[in-house]
Each structure stands twice: as C-alpha cells, then as structure tokens.
Structure 1
Amino acid sequence: MNEITSTWLNFLQQQQLPSTPAPFDASQSFVAPLTDLGLIALTGEDAASFLHTQLTNDVQGLSVEQARLAGYCSPKGRLLATFLMWKTGDTILLQLPRNLQATLQKRLQMFVMRAKAKLADVSDGQVILGLAGNAVAATLAPWFPALPTKPYAKIDNSHGTLIRLADAESAPRYQWITSPDIAIAAWPQLTQNLPATDARRWRLTEILAGVPQITTLTQEQFVPQMINFEVIGGVNFKKGCYPGQEIVARSQYLGKLKRRAVLARVAAMDVAAATEVFSSADPGQPCGMIVNAEADSASHSVCLVEIKLAALEDGGSFHLGAADGPQLTVGTLPYVITDVTASEQPA
C-alpha cells in the first residue's frame, strides 16, 4: 500500500461508514467508496489488439465515450474474471475485484509476448466511488455538469472519469473514478445530499441490476451464458478468437441453453458465492449455484443464482445449501433473456 492509498483509506476510517446492511431503496440516493475493486491499465500501441485476442468483448472498437463489460475465459470457456473496461486517452482500464487482480494481471502478462503492450496495477492511485439514485445528477453538477445519459456511456474531464452503469430498480447508477485528492475534497459536498455507505450496498445494486461478478469462489464455474453475460452485453460473437471462444460460441448456437441466472431472495445472512442450490423436485443433486449475494436487511439476502432451466420448469421449491435449507424466492430480472445471434450483436 502506497502513501496515496493510505491517505484515502485513513480518510475513510474517519468517516465512520455504516457497518450494518441496509436495503436498497430506489428513492434514496447514496455514495459508496468501492475499495474492494482494483484497476489494471494497459498501454502501448498493441494494447487494444492484444486485449481483443484475450477477452469476450470487442476491444478494438471501444471508444473513449463508452465502457463495456468483458469476460476472461479459460480454454474450456469458463470465466476466470468479469471486467468493466473503458478507454481514457491511449490507456485501456480493466476493473475487477481487487483480490483477483494480481493473479489475472500475471496471467494476462504471460500472453503479451512480443506485443507492444504494458500492464500496470494503477489501483493505488485511483479512487472509485459508486453513486446511485435520482439525487446524483444534481449532486455531481459541480464536477460533471452533463452526465452520461445511457448505461455504459462515459465522460472524461479534469475531475476524472464518470461512467453510467445499468440502472437498479429504475434508479440511475454511476461510477466516478478520480484521484484521492479530488475525492477527499469533494466528499463533504457529496455527502450533504448522498448518504455515505460502504461497498456492500453498491454490490447489492449490481445484483438487482442483474450484473454478475466473478469472484475467487466462482472462477471457472460458469460459461458466460450461464450468468446471462451475453444478454447484458459482455460477449461479442462477431469478434475473432479468444481463449474458450469455440466453446462459448458452441453454447450459443448449438441447441437450447440449459442454464441461466435468476434473481432470488432468501431468509439467510452471509450467503457465500458458490453455495449450491437444491430443488425439492430433485433433492438428490444440486440444480444451481449462488453467483453473488448481499444482505438487504438484518435477516434476508438478495442473490443472483445460476440454475438449470429444467428445474425452474419443474415447479419445485429452491433451497440454499441443502434440500432442507432456507427457501429461495425467485424474483424478476430487470432485462429479458433472449438468445443473441451474431446478426443481433450491438455495434
């Protein structure tokens, strides 16, 4: 940890952020320091072409006005990581959980070979703030008079980078990536209108938005389609090869997909990713797995659950951890799941 990071973390300790989980209410805006996220920066004239051969999404067509989701797969097509990526100037940035960063950066570095591309950990020089709710636009006006108007649009200025993300329960969400000095100076004004909370509430909004995040517990568990990753724009089927591409494409075009992700709520706390889910209709074997989960009250958690479509059709009840475990109540995703064909890929 360098001096810059220490300054920001010491500042946050003095703010005494809430330590208890709280439900997300779309009418209540908030700001959260996302200290659990890290950033890998790629520079060099071959940075885009190199990443294009490694990730599930189009990197060469990435403009400075947008961000994109992207996955990094094993040769077997299983996700090792999911990223939010964007381009600022000549630098491409990959955002992922900080506890995955060192391993993933080292793995990517192995394949650079003769490409003119350099990878660097820039997490310690940047602050990532998550902001959600209808009060965000007016609150950010001193730094960003105009905000990105649609999900995954991006604005850069002297105050940093602002990215709009997928809405959660119709509430807009943004990430502000800036320097510790700017974040510390802005904090008192931000928190006048936006109650400060910790990263757990932000992760809850990610789940409510139906956006999965691969963690250390779920690496190599899912082909992208199992967690709806192509539905939310994380896979481009027109681009060239990348690790696992053949398997990902085969899953898309050969036969009906058999597993998807759904939203669910359960009367349990501290629900861990990778916990198995069982159906009362077939209690002898798991039918799914927790992708992400966060508490939304003192007794309940909201989950993104990867599950067999056949189990959803069987009409049984779903249970956490065992056939007699806490029952999950399946909810409604904020998007419609469709099978994306190559001709339907967004530009």
Structure 2
Amino acid sequence: MHPWQQFLTEQGFRFAAEAAHEAIGPDPLVWSESAADGFVAPLTDLGLIAFTGDEAAHFLHNQLTNDIEHLGPGEARLAAYCSPKGRMLASFLAWRTDDAVMLELPRAIQLPVQKRLQMFILRSKVKVADRSDELVVLGLGGAKAGAALASRFGELPATPYAKLDSEAGTLVRVADAFGAPRYQWITSVEQAQQAWPELARTLRPAGTSLWRLADILAGVPRIVAATQESFVPQMINFEVIGGVNFKKGCYPGQEIVARSQYLGKLKRRMNLATVDAASLTGTVEAGMEVFTPTDPEQPCGMVVNAERSSPTEFAMLVELKTSVLEAGTIHLASATGAVLNIQPLPYAIPDAA
C-alpha cells in the first residue's frame, strides 16, 4: 500500500478492493447538508501527469481545447482532450509549476490517456511522467476551509481557477460549492501527513465521493471511462465553464468543436438533476441513458456524473436534448424508470431559450 494510503487507513479511511483509489471516509455519511461547515477530502481518485521540457506547453497547446502556451503561473485552466471526431477523451485541470505543466484527471483513465498523448510527442522536446504517487491532492471546502489554509499560505486565491505557490505546495481555487469557496492543495506526502491532524480538527474528514458531489453541484463535469467519446465539449457545457478557447490554433477535433459552436443553436446541453433514491432499484452511474415516455425506444440523453447527495437523494449531471426539457418527464434507464427532477445550474447557459 502507498504510504499516503497507509496513513489514511490509520486515520480511519478505507479503500475498496474493487476501487483501489477510492478513499471512503471515517464517516461515510458526509453529504451536502454536513459539508457546508467545512470538510477536507483526500482526492486519491485523481491522477497527475507532468509534462516537462522546452516544448511541453507548445505540445499540449496543440493537443488540448484550451490555451496552454499562455497559461500563467497564477492560474489554472480546465481543458479537454478530444478525438478527431471532437468527442472528449478526457477532461483536465491544468496548471504550471516551476518545471512542468501538470494535468489532473481521474486515475481510472489516466494510463490510456497518458499513453495516447505520448504517441504524438515524436521528436518534440517533451518528457511525460506520472506524479500521482509523488504528490498528494487534498480537497477543502465549506465555510471553514479558507481559515484552515490561511495559516500555511498566508493569502488565498481570490477567484475560481486562481492559483498560488508556496513552500507548502500549490493551492488552486476551483468552482465554489456548498455556498463557499473550494480549494485543491497539492503537496508532498510528508507535508500532507504533517498537516492532516490540524486540518481534521477544524474540518470534517470526508471521502473522495463528497468532492465529486461538489463538482456536480458546481456544474463541473468529469469525463470517466463510461463516458469517453460520448460528448462534444459543448454538450456538457465545457466551453461555458472556461474549458475551450475558440481563438487558439488547431487541436484534435477542433473543426467539429468550432462547427458545433457557430453553426446554429446547440441541441444538447448538460443539466443538473436529482432523483429520489427510494424510486431506484440500484444506484446511479455515469453512462446510464435517460428516456422520455414520448419516445421510449430512443434515449434522450446520458448521465455524465452522479453521486449520492443525501440519504434520500442522488444528484447528477445529465446531458439532454434541449427539446425534452419542455416535453414532459425524463426518466432514468428506461421510459418507466425513476423520474429526474431538473435543478438550476449555478451558471447561465448562453444559448438557453
């Protein structure tokens, strides 16, 4: 077992055999209502890829949907890696360090995505390394998170996707959730172990699923194995939240992504929804299809991400045909399945009627 996982096990976390990087917290019932006060979660389900070398930023600029060449030291950016057909193979959080451009993505898809990117390096002056075991990523949110970090960083990033570095590591503010700012702290195993007791006294220790729930409530999608090559970025609002730059040069799938943006109104969008847990026969998972009774044979959308948000409810991001939002009920898995309750997103969709 990795030293960080061993340490977390000693703190009361556990790791399921079927999901080796899924940290289940000492109290697995930390959901929406109890997270607002303040929580800290070890994000062991996320991997880190480091791109180093003189041409690292230029290489990634030509592969991803966002501008990496002009990525400043005080910011982080969302970005996607697309197939030649414009379908997302991965979604990333990207930032620079002194020696590298870092890409963060789910560990479950890291290896194949990393190998695919390496195929295109050819003679470029770029080296690729997996730093997932060298560094720890902690997710902190809720009302007390800022105060818990201030003693180590002095100041905090003022806006979402602002970033700062110190001897304590890298701190990135991400999209707000639970009515408060959220931060990712990327640091060494040793510093994380040293800081954990103090953090755990101030904030509620939580599993990785709570951080994914926070992303859902913030309207930030995460591409996972079940949804690779399912969505053009606009289908899941990726350009709305800053993950696509339409002024940069070419990248795989760029023509299709641009065409989707400029040729008429988009016909598919991502929505926030909830579903009553009592109405389900199982759980809700990414990749599940959704249906309407008016067209029971053809799915009208797909679950992007889903997590339990309370003892009685699941929250999800779901990609839908925009036309079905006014056409009646939307159901999970079949036209007679559990009814989805569409909720407002925390941001506006520019092409919404």
- TM-score (normalizing by structure 1): 0.94
Number of the residue aligned with 1:255: 264
2:3 & 2:236 partners in 1: Cα distance?
37
Within the alignment, does 1:44 sit opposite 2:53 as a pair? yes
Equivalent residues of 1:79, 1:214 under 8 A apart: yes
Equivalent residues of 1:252, 1:339 under 8 A apart: no
1:140 & 1:49 partners in 2: Cα distance?
33
TM superposition shift of 1:76: 0.2
* Partner deviation per Cα, 1:252-307 (whole Å, 9 max, x = no partner): 00111000000000123631101001113322311110000000122321000000
Number of the residue aligned with 1:332: 344
Number of the residue aligned with 1:154: 163
Number of the residue aligned with 2:16: none
Number of the residue aligned with 1:95: 104
Number of the residue aligned with 1:290: 303
Equivalent residues of 1:278, 1:285 under 8 A apart: yes
Equivalent residues of 2:213, 2:307 under 8 A apart: yes
Structure 2 counterpart SS, 1:11 = helix
2:242 & 2:179 partners in 1: Cα distance?
19
2:192 & 2:29 partners in 1: Cα distance?
24
Number of the residue aligned with 1:24: 32
TM superposition shift of 1:197: 0.7
Number of the residue aligned with 2:5: 9
Equivalent residues of 2:171, 2:186 under 8 A apart: yes
Number of the residue aligned with 1:145: 154
1:295 & 1:24 partners in 2: Cα distance?
9
Equivalent residues of 1:41, 1:93 under 8 A apart: yes
Number of the residue aligned with 1:198: 207
Which amino acid in the other structure matches residue 156 of structure 1?
A: D
TM superposition shift of 1:181: 0.4
2:26 & 2:332 partners in 1: Cα distance?
28
1:339 & 1:229 partners in 2: Cα distance?
13
1:51 & 1:21 partners in 2: Cα distance?
39
1:29 & 1:82 partners in 2: Cα distance?
27
Which range is displaced more, 254-263 or 12-21?
A: 12-21
TM superposition shift of 1:163: 0.3
Which amino acid in the other structure matches residue 72 of structure 2?
A: S
Number of the residue aligned with 1:307: 320
- TM-score (normalizing by structure 2): 0.93
TM superposition shift of 1:171: 1.4
1:31 & 1:166 partners in 2: Cα distance?
16
Runs of 4+ with >4 A deviation: none
Please list every run of 5 or more consecutive structure 2 residues that lacks an aligned counterpart in the other structure: 13-24
Which amino acid in the other structure matches residue 259 of structure 1?
A: R
TM superposition shift of 1:321: 0.3
Which amino acid in the other structure matches residue 31 of structure 2?
A: P
TM superposition shift of 1:19: 5.3
Within the alignment, does 1:322 sit opposite 2:334 as a pair? yes
TM superposition shift of 1:188: 0.6
2:230 & 2:109 partners in 1: Cα distance?
15
Alignment partner for residue 216 of structure 1, among 213, 225, 236? 225
Number of the residue aligned with 2:246: 237
1:339 & 1:85 partners in 2: Cα distance?
27
TM superposition shift of 1:339: 4.9
* Partner deviation per Cα, 1:36-76 (whole Å, 9 max, x = no partner): 00000000000010000000000001011000000000000
Number of the residue aligned with 1:270: 283
2:119 & 2:150 partners in 1: Cα distance?
43
Equivalent residues of 1:281, 1:317 under 8 A apart: no
Which amino acid in the other structure matches residue 6 of structure 2?
A: N
2:217 & 2:169 partners in 1: Cα distance?
27
* Partner deviation per Cα, 1:207-244 (whole Å, 9 max, x = no partner): 00000000000000000000000000000000000000
Which amino acid in the other structure matches residue 290 of structure 1?
A: V
1:43 & 1:49 partners in 2: Cα distance?
11
Equivalent residues of 2:28, 2:206 under 8 A apart: no
2:65 & 2:351 partners in 1: Cα distance?
16
Which amino acid in the other structure matches residue 286 of structure 2?
A: A
2:146 & 2:259 partners in 1: Cα distance?
43
2:232 & 2:178 partners in 1: Cα distance?
26
2:128 & 2:340 partners in 1: Cα distance?
42
Give the percent of matched residue pairs that are identical in Structure 1 and Structure 2.
Answer: 59
Please list every run of 5 or more consecutive structure 1 residues that lacks an aligned counterpart in the other structure: 341-347
